[in-house]
C-alpha cells in the first residue's frame, strides 16, 4: 500500500477508504431472475403450507416461551404429581447442585440452539462441544457415589428389578422431555442432522431434570443406564426421523 | 469501470410518509418509492407483495455478493434461495426502524458461512436439474466465463474475512461503516482487510494478464 506506514496499516489509522477503481470491471453474474423468482415463490408457498412452516416463522421470543412452557409443564408434572418418595431424606446440597447445573445447562443450550441468523453463529467445534457436554453432564452426576441409603425404595432397582426400573425411568425421562424437545425441533429455522442431534441431547438434559425430581433410586448403575442415556435415546429418535424423512423424500 | 453496486430504491432518510403497503396477502399493493424498511415492516405484517418487492431489489445484489467465489453456479442459486427463505422465517424478528440492509446481509453471510461449513443441502432447497439449468446463466460469452474464473481465482487468494469485505464493499457497493456492522468488526479492521485484499487481487490479476 503506497504511502502507508506499517504502523498505520497495523493500527488501521489514517487509512483512506479502499477502492476497486483500477481493477477490471465485474463480470455479470446474473442468472435467469424470472425463473429464480418463480422457484422462490414456490418455495415460500411450500414453507407456509408445511406443518412446521408457521412454527419456524414465529418470533424468537414466542418460540422460546413455547419450549420454556413445555419444559415447565414437564418439571411441574414430575414435582407436583410424581415427586420422588425419598424427597425428605435426599441431601439438599446435592439436590440443589444437580438440579441447578442441569437447569442452567438446559436453558443455555436450548437458547443457544435457537439463535437467529442475524447474530454471530456457532462453529462446528462449538456445536460438537455442546453435544459432548450435554451427554457428559448427566453421566458425571450418575457416576457420583449414591446420594444416600436412607430410604428402602432408593435401594431398589437391582437384580430382577433392574431392567423394569431402568426401562421405566428411560420411558419417563424420554416422555417428559419430548414436548419441549419437539417444540425446539419444530421451530428450528435451519434443520439439519447435527441440529437434530443437539436437540436430542438438550432433551436429555431436561429428561434428567424430571428424573431427578421423580426417581428415588440412587444406585449409580441405575442412573447411568436409565437416566444418563435419555439424551442418547432422544438422539436416536431424532436421527430415526431424519432417516425416514430422507427416504421418503428420495422416493417422492 | 467497475460495476457499481446495486442501490436499493428509497433511502431510509428519504422515506415517504405514506405506508409501504396496506393489508395482508398477495393482493396488497406496495409503493415503488417505499424504503426497504417500510417493505420489511409490511412483509412482517403479512404483505407478500412487499416480500416480492424485496426479492426483486435484492436478488441481483445477493447473487453478486455471495456467489462470485463459488466454483459451482448451482450452489449460488441454492444459497440465494436459502437467504430469502431465512428472511421469510426471520421476518417477524425484524425490529421496526432498524436498517434493513445490514440486518439482511448479516443473515445472508452467516448463512453462507454455515452453508459451506456443513456442506449439506437442505431438503427444501434442492433444485432439480431443469430448475438449475433455467436459473443458471444462459448463453454466456467465453470472455465472461474467463473473467468470472479469473475473479474467482483471485478471490481464492484471500482469506475468508478479506473475501467477505470485498464481496460487500466491491460487489455489493456497501459503504465501509455498514460493512463493519455486517461482518462484526471495527471500521479500522475492515479497512485494513479491504486494502490488503484489493492489493492481493491487483497483484494476482496483473500476473494473470
Separation of alpha carbons A187 and A64, rounded Å = 9
User: Choosing among B165, B191, B199, which should be mutated to test the A contact, i.e. which has the most A CBs within 10 A?
Assistant: B191
Q: Any idea which residue has 414465529 for its cell?
A: A58
Contact B77 A31 (CB under 8 A): yes
List the single best residue of A40, A60, A123 to mutate versus B (max B Cβ within 10 A).
A40
Query: Does the distance separating the beta carbons of A118 and B110 come in below 8 Å?
Result: yes
Query: Within the 201-240 window of chain A, which residues sit less than 8 Å (CB to CB) from chain B?
Result: none
Task: Quickly count: other Cβ atoms within 10 Å of residue A231's Cβ.
Answer: 29
User: A61: nearest CA in chain B?
Assistant: B93
Q: Are A67 and B111 in contact (CB under 8 A)?
A: no
What pLDDT does B23 receive? 47
Query: How far is the C-alpha of B144 from the C-alpha of B72, rounded, in Å?
Result: 15
Q: Do B1 and A118 touch (CB under 8 A)?
A: no
Say whether B191 sits in a helix, a strand or coil.
helix
Name the more confident of A28 and A135.
Answer: A135
Instruction: Mark yes or no for CB contact A30/B63 under 8 Å.
Output: yes
> What pLDDT, in 10s, does the model give residues A136-188?
999 999 999 988 888 888 877 778 888 999 999 999 999 999 999 989 988 99
User: Which of A4, A18, A241 best probes binding to B when mutated, by most B CB atoms within 10 angstroms?
Assistant: A18
**What's the half-sphere exposure (Cβ side, CA atoms, 13 Å) at A159?**
2
Instruction: Please judge whether A193 and B113 are an interchain contact, meaning their C-beta atoms are less than 8 angstroms apart.
Output: no
> Taking CA A216 as the corner, what is the angle to CA A229 and CA A213, rounded to the nearest 5 degrees?
70
pTM of the model: 0.81
Residues B62, B80: Cα–Cα separation, whole Å: 7
Alpha-carbon distances, residue B76 vs B32, B69, B72, B79, B106 (angstroms): 28, 9, 7, 5, 17
CA of A13: which chain B residue's CA is closest? B188
- Inter-chain residue contact B106 with A189, CB threshold 8 Å: no
Q: For residue B21, what are the β-bridge partners?
A: B30
Please indicate whether residue A13 or residue A113 has the higher confidence score (pLDDT).
Answer: A113
Number of CB pairs < 8 Å for A and B?
Answer: 172
How would you write the pLDDT of chain B (209 residues) with one tens digit per residue?
Answer: 333 333 344 334 333 334 445 445 544 678 889 999 999 999 999 999 999 999 999 998 898 889 888 877 778 888 999 999 999 999 999 999 999 999 999 999 999 888 777 655 443 344 455 555 555 545 567 777 788 888 888 898 899 899 999 999 999 999 999 999 999 899 999 999 999 999 999 888 888 76
Cα A138 from Cα A104, distance rounded (Å) = 13
Amino acid at each position: 500500500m503506497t504511502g502507508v506506514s506499517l504502523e498505520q496499516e497495523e493500527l488501521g489509522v489514517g487509512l483512506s477508504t479502499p477502492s476497486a477503481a483500477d481493477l477490471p470491471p465485474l463480470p455479470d453474474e446474473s442468472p435467469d431472475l424470472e425463473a429464480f423468482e418463480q422457484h422462490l415463490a414456490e418455495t415460500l408457498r411450500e414453507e407456509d403450507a408445511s406443518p412446521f412452516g408457521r412454527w419456524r416463522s414465529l418470533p424468537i421470543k414466542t418460540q422460546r416461551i413455547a419450549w420454556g412452557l413445555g419444559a415447565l409443564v414437564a418439571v411441574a408434572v414430575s414435582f407436583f404429581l410424581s415427586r420422588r418418595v425419598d424427597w425428605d431424606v435426599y441431601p439438599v446440597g446435592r439436590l440443589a447442585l444437580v438440579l441447578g447445573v442441569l437447569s442452567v445447562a438446559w436453558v443455555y443450550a436450548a437458547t443457544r440452539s435457537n439463535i437467529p441468523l442475524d447474530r454471530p453463529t456457532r462453529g462446528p467445534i462449538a456445536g460438537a462441544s455442546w453435544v459432548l457436554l450435554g451427554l457428559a453432564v448427566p453421566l458425571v452426576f450418575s457416576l457420583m457415589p449414591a446420594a444416600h441409603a436412607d430410604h428402602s425404595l432408593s435401594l431398589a432397582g437391582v437384580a430382577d428389578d433392574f431392567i423394569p426400573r431402568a426401562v421405566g425411568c428411560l420411558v419417563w425421562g424420554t416422555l417428559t422431555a419430548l414436548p419441549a424437545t419437539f417444540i425446539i425441533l419444530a421451530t428450528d429455522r435451519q434443520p439439519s442432522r447435527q441440529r437434530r442431534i443437539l436437540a436430542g441431547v438438550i432433551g436429555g438434559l431436561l429428561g434428567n431434570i424430571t428424573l431427578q425430581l421423580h426417581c428415588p433410586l440412587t444406585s449409580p448403575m441405575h442412573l447411568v443406564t436409565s437416566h444418563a442415556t435419555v439424551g442418547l435415546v432422544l438422539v436416536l429418535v431424532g436421527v430415526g426421523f431424519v432417516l425416514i424423512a430422507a427416504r421418503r423424500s428420495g422416493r417422492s | 469501470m467497475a460495476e457499481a453496486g446495486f442501490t436499493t430504491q428509497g433511502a431510509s432518510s428519504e422515506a415517504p410518509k405514506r405506508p409501504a403497503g396496506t393489508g395482508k396477502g398477495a393482493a396488497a399493493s406496495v409503493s415503488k418509492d417505499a424504503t426497504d424498511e417500510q417493505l420489511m415492516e409490511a412483509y412482517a405484517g403479512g404483505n407478500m407483495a412487499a416480500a416480492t418487492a424485496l426479492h426483486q431489489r435484492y436478488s441481483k445484489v445477493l447473487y453478486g455478493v455471495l456467489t462470485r467465489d463459488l466454483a459451482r453456479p448451482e450452489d449460488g442459486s441454492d444459497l440465494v434461495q436459502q437467504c430469502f427463505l431465512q428472511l421469510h422465517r426471520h421476518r417477524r424478528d425484524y425490529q421496526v426502524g432498524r436498517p434493513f440492509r445490514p440486518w439482511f446481509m448479516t443473515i445472508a453471510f452467516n448463512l453462507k458461512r454455515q452453508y459451506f461449513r456443513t456442506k449439506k443441502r437442505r431438503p427444501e432447497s434442492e433444485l432439480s436439474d431443469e430448475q438449475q439449468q433455467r436459473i443458471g446463466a444462459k448463453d454466456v460469452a467465453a470472455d465472461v466465463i474467463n473473467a468470472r474464473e479469473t475473479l474467482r481465482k483471485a478471490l481464492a487468494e484471500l482469506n475468508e474475512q478479506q473475501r467477505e469485505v470485498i464481496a460487500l464493499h466491491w460487489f455489493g457497493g456497501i459503504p465501509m461503516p455498514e460493512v463493519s456492522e455486517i461482518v462484526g468488526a471495527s471500521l479500522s479492521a475492515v479497512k485494513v482487510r479491504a486494502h490488503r485484499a484489493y492489493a492481493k487481487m491487483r497483484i494476482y490479476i496483473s500476473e494473470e494478464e
